[in-house]
């Protein structure tokens, strides 16, 4: 998932959650647009954080796979001797 897709997707989820919150309270959905912007910004930041976390997890997993492969090769080399 791209960075832009994550941020925009989470932002729209934040907007939807804000609309849900206002509809539960039976308030006008367009009463305070600043609240919508704030909710979108907070959820957009959460999307940015989730994207960075996913990228870092991929790097860590690749490093661990390489480490495991290296250990297996050393173990096989010792077993052949």
Three-state secondary structure call for residue 41: helix
Averaged pLDDT score across all residues of the chain: 93
- How many CB atoms lie under 10 A from the CB of residue 19? 14
Burial of 1 (0-12, 13-18, 19+ CB in 10 A): exposed
pTM: predicted TM-score of the whole model, two decimal places: 0.76
Give the whole-number percent of the chain exceeding pLDDT 70. Answer: 98
- Between helices 3-24 and 33-80, what is the axis angle to 10°? 140
Q: pLDDT class for 12, splitting at 50, 70, 90? A: very high
Structure tokens at 36: 């919508």
User: Is residue 65 predicted with pLDDT exceeding 90?
Assistant: yes
The answer to whether residue 29 scores a pLDDT higher than 90 is no
Mean pLDDT within 54-69: 97
Q: Find out whether 36 and 15 touch, Cβ atoms under 8 Å.
A: yes
């Amino acid at each position: 998932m791209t960075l832009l897709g994550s941020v925009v997707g989470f932002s729209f989820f934040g907007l939807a959650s804000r609309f849900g919150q206002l509809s539960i309270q039976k308030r006008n959905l367009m009463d305070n647009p600043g609240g919508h912007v704030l909710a979108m910004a907070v959820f957009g930041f959460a999307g940015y954080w989730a994207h960075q976390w996913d990228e870092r997890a991929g790097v860590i997993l690749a490093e661990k796979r390489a480490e495991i492969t290296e250990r297996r090769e050393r173990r096989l080399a010792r077993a052949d001797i």
